[in-house]
Structure 1
Amino acid sequence: MESRFKEAEFATWVGIIVNGLLALMKGVIGWLSGSRALIADAAHSASDVAGSIAVLAGLRTAKKPPDADHPYGHGKAENVATIIVAILLIVVGVEIAISSTKVFVGEMPSAPKGIALVAIIASIIIKEVLFQYKYRLAKKINSSALLAEAWHHRSDALSSIAAFIGVFGAMVGQHFNYPILVYLDPVAGLIVSLIVIKIGFSLAKESSSIMMEQVLDPEKTKPFIRTVSKIEGVKRIDELLARTHGHYIVVDIKVGVDPNLSVEEGHRISKRVKKALLANHNHIKRVFVHINPYQTEGDLNRQERIN
């Protein structure tokens, strides 16, 4: 568990440092070259820094052990961090859209200088490397916050591609005297904003479902049911609810056992259920077992008639 958080924190610090340098580079070159698309891209990278700081805080909270106030643990701190990153993406996307749209109602912009292309190409390569690194690590350690940060990097790479097309098109338009092509730079900024907003909404939607205690799809809980069904003494699984709690899964299960068993024997069966789920499914970290007296359909019908 400790190594999981160390890997995630190291990856987050890498993101903070690299994004900070990228934002500074793109901002300065965007201003010197007169590229709105590159300035928008710099703002996107700056939001990555803020998002990474939120992720770092979330990871440090999530690794705390369960306590009296948080008996299920602090895993959802990662989901809170994910939502913060998503909101940052949406805000930055809207700001980029507003900035790019203003160009169409003002004077015709001038094409950016060639140095803008160098900065954009460097950004595309670096951000894609960061995405691949964090995406693979997020899948390996099952971290929603790190996955959100990875997609933040991918959105930055995509926005840089759009910025490249815009800047290159604007330069070509000015060189060959096609003024309309100069508008490709702000159009690229607008495309960037839509990409950023869409990714932000997707991340927010997924994490919000987890925060609202949405249970896992029945198809995903079938392996858990198969595990419990094999346990001696379990007559029937009355109910199994599993939900994601940050990077791990919490399971609430009700099992039917022989009603003539002693309390101690029923307790032993519940311990076997818990142990089997924890041992056979790595993502499950908390299990709560409720023992019910097993009754056949005939028993239930007779009891209903008596009542």
Structure 2
Amino acid sequence: MDLYTNLRQGEKGAWLSILTYLVLSSVKLIIGFIGHSTALKADGLNNTTDIIASAAVLVGLRISQKPPDKDHQYGHLRAETISSLIASFIMAIVGLQVLLNAGKSFFEEHHTAPSLLTAVVALGSGIVMFLVYMFNIRLAKRINSSAIKAAAYDNRSDAWVSFGTAIGILGAIFGFPIIDSITAFLVGALIIKTAYDIFFEAVHALTDGFDEAELEALSVLIKNVDGVIELVDLKGRNHGNLIFVDLTVTVDPQLDVWQSHQITEEIENTIKLAKPFAVSLVHIEPEGLERVLDQNIFNPHKK
């Protein structure tokens, strides 16, 4: 499956999230108002913004499929990561709104106990969202998509929020109506936490951050390639669903060009096996070159 086929596959996850959120947000808001549940209405409001966030992911995936042009020699793959960043902003705004509404409800003199139907809707919603999460996280791993992974994390967060909402509503039904407002407040906090996690991962990728543990694992593999004497430098960065790996190794200076090229091929294949979505750039240097350069610096007239 090639790069652009993967991106088209990712659209399925975005569409699934959008359609699910459309249905669930409508049901939650209607039943929340009818059944007098602040928590369920907060959960429904959260899902309405998830529609926008998932739409942003879909747009990002569409833009990512544009082929390279003269202004974007590496393609448009980072549009996918930018869409995750936009989704995090949308989620944070909604989380703050939910917190504000929940805070106001604390000061209401009369708290109406919600109906049992609102708890049933919240519980059913949680189950549905967890199933969507399972689909999207598997898809994200298969196609290495940061945007679909962000959508999956959002799905999982929504599932836990709905389960928590159901528990809060049941507590309110059994004689503690204020628990419904407390649950709504916790829903808002969870939304903001998920938004922060997605924001941090997107910014980390956009600023060329890369997991040190992954680099260390790659360095071990590269050092074990036949013909590699020393790994001089190793860098990695994320570009959409691709990983760019740049490295410099030293080899026997007596090798000819063909033999050196074979070593670079072996390194690239080794990295590809460990990271199927990696693109490697290998620079070969003869062993002892640094010592020769140092000698020439200190003895500029030496032939």
TM normalised by structure 2 equals 0.87
In structure 2, the residue matched to 1:65 is 67
Deviations along 1:129-168, one digit per CA (max 9) or x if unpaired, are: 1111111221222111111111111111111122212221
Q: Which residue of 2 aligns with 1:178?
A: none
In structure 2, do the counterparts of structure 1 residues 213 and 152 end up closer, same or farther at CA, with 3 Å as the change threshold?
same
Matched, 1:132 2:134: yes
Task: State whether residues 170 and 182 of structure 1, in contact with CA within 8 Å, keep that contact through their aligned partners in structure 2.
Answer: yes
Return closer, same or farther for 1:206/1:46 CA change in 2, 3 Å cut-off: same
Contact 2:99 2:184 in 1 (8 A): yes
Aligned amino acid, residue 208 of structure 1: V
SS in 2 for 1:65: coil
Q: Which secondary structure state, in structure 2, belongs to the residue aligned with residue 205 of structure 1?
A: helix
For the 8 Å contact 2:136–2:149, the answer to whether it is kept is yes
Which moves more between the two structures, 296-305 or 163-172? 296-305
Q: How far apart in 1 are the matches of 2:162 and 2:273?
A: 44
Deviation at 1:61, TM superposition (A): 1.9
Distance in 1 (CA, whole Å) between partners of 2:16 and 2:208 is 32
- The one-character-per-residue Cα deviations of 1:6-56 (angstroms, maximum 9, x if unpaired) are 332112211111110110010111111111111100011111211111111
The whole-number CA distance in structure 2 between the counterparts of 1:57 and 1:88 is 15
Within 5 Å, give how 1:59-208 maps onto structure 2. Answer: 59-173=61-175, 181-208=176-203
Report the AA paired with residue 281 of structure 2.
F
- Mapping for residues 257-268 of structure 1, pairs under 5 Å: 257=251, 268=261
Contact kept in structure 2, 1:47 and 1:89, CA below 8 Å: yes
| Whole-Å separation in 1 of the counterparts to 2:269 and 2:153 | 35
The answer to whether 1:305 aligns with 2:298 is yes
Q: Indicate the larger mover: 293-302 or 189-198.
A: 293-302
Secondary structure in structure 2 of the residue aligned to 1:135: helix
1:164-216 alpha-carbon deviations (Å, 9 max, x no partner): 1222122211xxxxxxx211111000011111111110111111111001134
Alignment CA distance shift 1:205-1:134 (3 Å): same
Q: Give the deviation of 1:236 after TM superposition.
A: 3.4
Match of residue 239 from structure 2: 245
Residue 288 of structure 1: how far off its partner (Å): 2.7
Once the 2 structures are TM-superposed, how far is the Cα of residue 252 of structure 1 from its aligned partner?
1.6
Tell me how far 1:68 sits from its aligned partner: 2.5
Letter paired with 1:152: D
Change (3 A) 1:240 1:105: same
Q: Which amino acid aligns with 1:204?
A: F
Higher deviation after alignment, 133-142 or 295-304? 295-304
Q: 1:218 to 1:66 in 2, by over 3 A?
A: farther
Q: Which residue of 1 aligns with 2:288?
A: 295
1:107: how far off? 2.5
Aligned Cα root-mean-square deviation (Å): 2.6
Query: Is contact 2:35-2:118 (8 Å) kept?
Result: yes
Letter of the structure 1 residue corresponding to residue 197 of structure 2: S
Consecutive unaligned residues of structure 1, counting only runs of 5 or more, are 174-180
**Equivalent-residue separation in structure 1 for 2:134 and 2:289 (angstroms):** 53
Q: Residue 53 of structure 2 aligns with which residue?
A: 51
The 8 Å contact of residues 165 and 184 in structure 1, kept in 2 or not, is answered as no
Letter of the 2:187 counterpart: V
Question: Which residue of the partner structure matches residue 254 of structure 1?
Answer: 248
Aligned equivalents of 2:265, 2:51: Cα separation in 1: 46
* Residue of 189, 205, 208 corresponding to 1:213: 208
Unaligned runs of 5+ in 2: none
Tell me, in whole angstroms, the C-alpha distance in 1 between the residues paired with 2:90 and 2:131.
22
The code of the aligned residue for 1:215 comes to F
Query: Which shows bigger deviation, 47-56 or 156-165?
Result: 156-165
Distance 2:159 2:20 in 1: 13
Structure 2 SS opposite 1:169: helix
Quick check: 2:119–2:167 contact (8 Å CA) kept in 1?
Answer: no
Instruction: Note the alpha carbon deviations across 1:216-269, whole angstroms, 9 max, x for none.
Output: 41553433563475254x55332121111121110122233566778x669846
